Amino acid sequence: MLTIKDFAVSFRTRRGEVDAVRGISLDLAEGETLGIVGESGSGKSVTSYALMRILDAGGRIKAGSAVFDSRDLVQAAEHDMQAIRGREISMIFQNPRAALNPIRKVGHQLEDVLRRHGRATRRDARAKAIEALEAVRIRDAEARYDAYPFELSGGMCQRVVFAIALACGPRLMIADEPTTGLDITTQKAVMDLVRDLTRDRGMSSILITHDLGLAAEYCDRLAVMKDGQIVETGPAAALFADPQHPYTAKLVDATPRPGAGLRDLLPAEARTPLADHVPGGRALVQVRDLVKTYPAKSGPVHAVKGISFTIREGQSVGLVGESGCGKSTTSSMLVRLLDRTSGDILFDGFDIADIPADRFVRDARRSRIQMVFQDATDSLNPRHSARQTIADPILRMSDLRGSALAARIEELATLCGLPLTLLDRFPHQLSGGQKARVGIARAIALDPKFLILDEPTAALDVSIQAVVLNLLADLRARLGMTYLFVSHDLNVVRLLCDHVIVMQGGEIVEQGPAVQVMDAPSHPYTRTLLAAAPMPPAATAAAPRSAAE
């Protein structure tokens, strides 16, 4: 029903014309779900925007055709495109709350679309809008009709966006990273809904995502894009089992999946042996009945409701949970940026929770506990070069100066795989992976014993993530650090951690050895989490790392 041939899109930028899509060809059959996967900059989103002809001002379709039902979308007049959009082809985007008009009721936004395409008159618009809301399984649709986007949760907003997309009965739906930023369970609910509804109505759909696992689970066929070109297409299982193109192989390898170990994420030539790390027996960090309560206008918020756990020297502990479970609050307290309400945090036997956060800055122990932050863009000072960023903790907490300081910075950079020539660059001149390395170098500058990693790879492309995870494992072995790895991505946690703590609603629902918690969970919530995580097809090539399957 959709045939794309030699499609090319370019953008006019200050540096001249940039080709975002360089001639791709695709076929989509009736009722089929196609996944377009690729890393950032691959041109996958641009393709969909160009198809719908909603490119930004500087973009244009350079060449090619996109025939939908014997009509070439590239040549169609704007007037005709407006009739097609929303009625025959519709699109949903990421960041659902931002995708809705903030000052307009949700129901009214639905009505706008219905009336535009002649699917409702002024009289029955309200009823039809409520119907559309019910179709996406929103409970209490009548009440929700009058809601504003800010009153709804992220998942609910995505359903509304989906309702708008489905309202006029389109035949093709394009979903551009629809679940990025959503919790795993919400993600599963939304994707299941999308799959069910498109299947029920016999719609074709295109899912654009960077998550290979997600695409594998929900799509019939995948197309892999790199640098504006399609390198391979085929059914998901085939792509995973026997990738033809080296880039596909690289992507498949880099995707954390059952049966693959850390080294298996890397391309074959980089798979140096992984040093064993043996967790010592001594307890390094002991948390006892930790509580954090925030005063708020509508009553106190119990972020953390009394949790206890122990981290032994050399261990890597994963802390998993969805948003609002209290894991970020816990890690903030552990790293002493936040004061607890009650409870103990014992580090090397000493209760560091007794020292208020403001004073801990000067404490001798400050350099022993460090943190790697989530979003490397946010965690690097835009005005400081990489060198200055790495130097800061050394200047503040040690006596190293001059050439000794410079030598140490270069040593750290090399340790983290950061080319020395990049040291004088500013964050905006570095790539995502390079910024992550700077953040890690800064964190290990003073040889901390305990490193807390707050979703350090969440914002990275999957191939870069593979590299960074391996870097973290190597550093752990070399420097003998203990890790607390906070993440929502269970597959990643499985790779790096030997112990896992699962949190929900401010409490620990389950904790234990990773193998046990992941493969034989006892708590229902853990089971829900594991079931919701998209599971790529298991690795067959590499030697299986985990026992059970």
Partner 1 sequence: MTETTEVPGRKPDGAWAHLLHVLRENPVTMLSFGMFAFFLLQAFFGALLVPHDPLATNAANALQPPNWTHWFGTDSLGRDVFSRVVVATRLDLTISVLAVAISFVIGSVLGAVAGYWGGWIDALLNRVLDTIMAFPLFVLAMGIVAALGNTIENIIYATALINIPFYARLVRAEVNIRREAGFALAARLSGNSHFRTLAFHIFPNALPPMMVQVSLNMGWAILNAAGLSFIGLGVRPPTPEWGIMVAEGANYIISGHWWVALFPGLWLMLAVFTFNLMGDGLRDIVDPRRRT
Partner 2 sequence: MAGRARAIGMRLAQTVPVLIGVVIISFILTRALPGDPAVYFAGAMADEQSIQQVREALGLDKPLVAQFFLYVGDLAQGDLGRSISTGQPVLTDLAARLPASLELTLSALLLSCLIAIPLGVLAAVRQGSWIDHLCRVLVTAGVSLPTFFTGILLVYIFYYLLGWAPSPLGRLDFIYFEPPRVTGFYLIDSLLAGDLETFGATLRQLTLPTITLALFTLAPIARMTRAAMLQALSSDYIRTARAAGLSRGKILFGYGLRNALLPVVTTLGMVFSFVLGANVLVEKVFAWPGIGSYAVEALVASDYAAVQGFVLAMALLFVTLNLIIDLSYALIDPRIGFDTK
Any residues with CB less than 8 A from the CB of 302 and at least 6 apart, and which? 291, 292, 293, 506
- Single out the segment in contact with partner 2 by CB under 8 A; choices: 81-89, 287-295, 318-326, 335-343: 81-89
In the list 60, 104, 359, 527, the residue contacting partner 2 (rule: CB under 8 A) is 104
* Contact call for residue 528 and partner 2 (CB under 8 A): no
* Contact call for residue 81 and partner 1 (CB under 8 A): no
Nearer to partner 1, 239 or 441 (CB): 441
Q: Strand, helix or coil at 39? A: coil
Select the binding partner of residue 209 from partner 2, partner 1, none (C-beta < 5 to 8 A, by kind). Answer: none
Amino acid making up residue 34 = L
* Contact call for residue 375 and partner 1 (CB under 8 A): yes
Residue 344, burial from CB neighbour count under 10 angstroms (0-12, 13-18, 19+): middle
Nearer to partner 2, 116 or 365 (CB): 116
How big is the site for partner 1, counted in residues (CB under 8 A)? 47
Nearer to partner 2, 115 or 245 (CB): 115
Least gap, CB of 150 to partner 2 (angstroms): 6
* Contact call for residue 84 and partner 2 (CB under 8 A): yes
In the list 42, 47, 90, 487, the residue contacting partner 2 (rule: CB under 8 A) is 90
DSSP codes, 250-314: HHHHHS--TT--TGGGS-GGG-PPPPP----SSEEEEEEEEEEEE--TTS-EEEEEEEEEEEETT
Residue 72: C-alpha distances to residues 54, 81, 204, 229, 230 (Å): 15, 10, 18, 21, 21
In the list 112, 134, 348, 392, the residue contacting partner 1 (rule: CB under 8 A) is 392
Residue 84: C-alpha distances to residues 47, 68, 90, 235, 316 (Å): 17, 10, 8, 29, 53
What is the Cα Rg of the chain in Å?
Answer: 25
* Contact call for residue 305 and partner 2 (CB under 8 A): no
Q: Which of 507, 511, 486 has the alpha carbon at shortest distance from 290?
A: 507
* Contact call for residue 354 and partner 1 (CB under 8 A): no
Nearer to partner 1, 188 or 336 (CB): 336
In the list 54, 143, 274, 479, the residue contacting partner 2 (rule: CB under 8 A) is 54
Whole-angstrom distance, CA of residue 118 vs CA of residue 113? 9
Site residues for partner 2, 153-172, by CB under 8 A, read: 161, 164-165
Whole-angstrom distance, CA of residue 441 vs CA of residue 386? 10
* Contact call for residue 143 and partner 2 (CB under 8 A): no
Amino acid making up residue 280 = G
Select the binding partner of residue 117 from partner 2, partner 1, none (C-beta < 5 to 8 A, by kind). Answer: partner 2
* Contact call for residue 134 and partner 1 (CB under 8 A): no
Residue 433 token pair: 């992976």
Q: Which of 204, 122, 120, 200 has the alpha carbon at shortest distance from 168?
A: 120
DSSP codes, 314-357: T-EEEEE--TTSSHHHHHHHHTTSS--SEEEEEETTEEGGGS-H
* Contact call for residue 178 and partner 2 (CB under 8 A): no
Select the binding partner of residue 57 from partner 1, partner 2, none (C-beta < 5 to 8 A, by kind). Answer: partner 2
Q: Which of 328, 365, 333 has the alpha carbon at shortest distance from 449?
A: 365
Site residues for partner 1, 152-191, by CB under 8 A, read: none
In the list 57, 122, 383, 403, the residue contacting partner 1 (rule: CB under 8 A) is 383
Site residues for partner 1, 459-518, by CB under 8 A, read: 464, 467, 470-471, 474
Question: For residue 358, is it left (φ>0), alpha (ψ between -120 and 50) or beta?
Answer: alpha
How big is the site for partner 2, counted in residues (CB under 8 A)? 34
* Contact call for residue 68 and partner 2 (CB under 8 A): no
* Contact call for residue 87 and partner 2 (CB under 8 A): yes
* Contact call for residue 463 and partner 2 (CB under 8 A): no
Residue 213 token pair: 């696992």
Least gap, CB of 519 to partner 2 (angstroms): 38
Any residues with CB less than 8 A from the CB of 245 and at least 6 apart, and which? 224, 231, 232
| Positions that interact with partner 2 (CB under 8 A) | 52, 54, 57, 81-87, 90-91, 93, 95, 98-104, 112-113, 116-117, 148, 150-151, 161, 164-165, 296-298
